[in-house]
């Protein structure tokens, strides 16, 4: 460790910025919105006593040396812009979340690197964490009064901040958060767990939402499907328990009812449960059924949306699912309906100005093509089959509706894959197509 991070309280403090120009402005700006008062000075006054910090943004000359000398004499820590050797402290790249502050420093070696890292931290620390920290400050005295031993305090803080109270505080509902915290301190809701049904997107972990990432990093236990990319699983908190409930079609490792029962049991133990599903939980993901079961059991449950396969695959292939000249609607259908469910409404899907995306449609592609053509859709309608979209193994084959089964067979596509049917398929980047069917 080449430098030591320490945090200076700013409430009621005065900070001096000596010098003019963009660098001085930037230092003054750091304190905007903070309780410190910034005093801008063109030159060094005879005394700097009483300031908590001094920033010197002067050209390298005698005046600069004098400013540093006066700060030293008066015992005020000084930072010199572009003068690390003269500085008592470095200015970190700062992630500002009110009472929660993160500073990144390279000890003066590479401020750009620190700023890049800050940008990444900004992305993963929700702005709402400021509210969580403020909430913790407000209830701090009550927690300390009600729990006198170290262990008890730690457990109470974990139960409050990671439980329903923390969830409400993050959502901005401070009143409900305080009420829930009070109940936790009374021992009533010590075991109030929560379930998040989280969309993992189609593959690429960069397609996760910030909220999905946060729930993965907060989870005590994660139930995940076969479809979830291993790179997304790598983002789960290291010491969280992982349960594979592999649900590749036709091979239900754990039956649906049992998955629901286990999630409910874990939540009732007070754990933070994540149910991680490929794509979006509400698009052919049984998220609706699971949410009903959780609600019926009285378990707090939230849904975190994900990028569904159709959106992820289409974006990557350069296929606009709607386009003012070619498609005024897009319809997502399943090629694999529940046993006994009625067949799709083919006449409605035959409208040429509409894109159709078929999920789980590889095995039933022949039936789909035949039914659409019989209902009046042009046999020459462009189609694209996209397998393992948003992963390094992506495969895309393009052809026409009448030859869809041959297209799938020739490209050796086994799934998971979606079928995209409609004129917009012709707009795909040619470079994005790995197999093009001969006309
Ligand atoms: N909830 C998921 C869909 C689950 S159903 C979502 O919103 O995406 C499973 C089907 O999704 C697969 O049979 C396939 O049709 C599609 N699918 C999921 N991930 C995919 C991917 N990376 N590439 C292509 N299709 C995918």
276-321 pLDDT, tens digit per residue, is: 999 999 999 999 999 999 999 999 999 999 999 999 999 999 999 9
* 331-352 per-position pLDDT tens digit: 999 998 777 777 899 999 999 9
What pLDDT score does 124 carry? 79
What pLDDT score does 109 carry? 84
Q: Is 378 a catalytic residue?
A: no
What pLDDT score does 150 carry? 85
What whole-number percentage of the chain has pLDDT above 90? 73
Averages of pLDDT over runs of 10 residues in the chain (439 residues) are 92 97 95 95 95 96 95 97 92 91 90 90 84 92 91 86 86 90 78 87 95 90 93 92 76 82 93 95 95 95 97 97 96 86 90 96 95 97 97 96 96 94 93 76
Q: Is 149 a catalytic residue?
A: no
Burial label, 431 (beta-carbon count in 10 A; 0-12, 13-18, 19+): exposed
Tell me the CA distances in angstroms from 62 to 19, 44, 112, one per residue in order. 13, 11, 29
Closest-lying ligand 1 atom to the alpha carbon of residue 309:
8
What pLDDT score does 88 carry? 95
What pLDDT score does 252 carry? 57
User: Are the beta carbons of 253 and 245 closer than 8 angstroms?
Assistant: yes
Ligand 1 cavity residues, CB under 6 Å: 202-203, 227, 277-280, 283-285, 308-309, 313, 359-360, 386-391, 415-418
What pLDDT score does 439 carry? 56
Peptide linkage before 416 cis (omega within 30 of 0): yes
What pLDDT score does 64 carry? 96
What pLDDT score does 368 carry? 96
Give the active site residue among 204, 220, 225, 229: 225
What pLDDT score does 79 carry? 97
Give me the sign of the Cα torsion angle 84, 90, 95, 98: negative
Measured in Å, residue 260 CA sits from the centre of ligand 1 at 21
CA of residue 109 relative to chain centroid, distance? 31
């Amino acid at each position: 460790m080449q430098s030591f991070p320490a945090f200076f309280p700013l409430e009621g403090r005065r900070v001096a910025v000596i010098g003019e120009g963009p660098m001085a402005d930037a230092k003054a700006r750091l304190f905007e919105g903070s309780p410190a008062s910034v005093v801008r000075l063109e030159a060094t006054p005879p005394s700097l006593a009483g300031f908590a910090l001094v920033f010197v943004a002067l050209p390298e000359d005698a005046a600069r040396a004098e400013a540093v000398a006066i700060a030293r004499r008066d015992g005020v820590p000084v930072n010199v812009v572009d003068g690390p050797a003269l500085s008592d402290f470095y200015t970190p790249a700062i992630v500002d979340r009110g009472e929660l502050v993160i500073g990144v420093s390279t000890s003066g070696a590479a401020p750009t690197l620190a700023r890049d890292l800050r940008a990444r931290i900004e992305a993963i620390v929700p702005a709402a964490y400021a509210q969580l920290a403020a909430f913790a400050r407000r209830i701090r005295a009550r927690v300390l009064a009600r729990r006198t031993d170290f262990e008890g305090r730690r457990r109470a803080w974990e139960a409050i901040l990671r439980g329903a109270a923390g969830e409400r505080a993050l959502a901005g509902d401070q009143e409900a958060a305080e009420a829930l915290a009070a109940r936790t301190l009374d021992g009533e809701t010590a075991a109030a767990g929560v379930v998040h049904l989280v969309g993992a997107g189609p593959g690429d972990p960069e397609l996760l939402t910030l909220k999905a990432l946060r729930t993965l990093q907060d989870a005590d236990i994660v139930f995940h499907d076969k479809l979830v990319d291993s790179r997304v699983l790598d983002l789960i908190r290291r010491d969280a328990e992982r349960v594979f409930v592999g649900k590749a079609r036709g091979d239900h490792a754990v039956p649906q009812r049992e998955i629901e029962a286990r999630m409910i049991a874990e939540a009732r133990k007070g754990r933070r449960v994540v149910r991680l599903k490929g794509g979006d939980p509400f698009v052919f993901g049984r998220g609706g059924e699971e949410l009903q079961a959780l609600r019926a059991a009285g378990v707090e449950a939230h849904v975190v949306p994900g990028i569904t396969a159709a959106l992820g695959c289409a974006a990557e292939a350069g296929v606009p699912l709607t386009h003012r000249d070619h498609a005024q609607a897009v319809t997502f259908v399943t090629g694999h309906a529940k046993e006994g469910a009625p067949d799709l409404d083919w006449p409605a899907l035959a409208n040429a100005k509409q894109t159709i995306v078929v999920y789980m449609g590889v095995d039933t592609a022949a039936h789909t093509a035949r039914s659409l053509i019989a209902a009046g859709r042009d046999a020459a309608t462009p189609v694209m089959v996209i397998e393992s979209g948003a992963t390094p193994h992506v495969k895309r084959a393009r052809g026409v509706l009448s030859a869809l089964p041959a297209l799938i067979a020739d490209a050796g596509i086994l799934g998971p894959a979606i079928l995209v049917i409609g004129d917009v398929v012709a707009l795909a980047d040619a470079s994005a197509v790995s197999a093009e069917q001969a006309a």
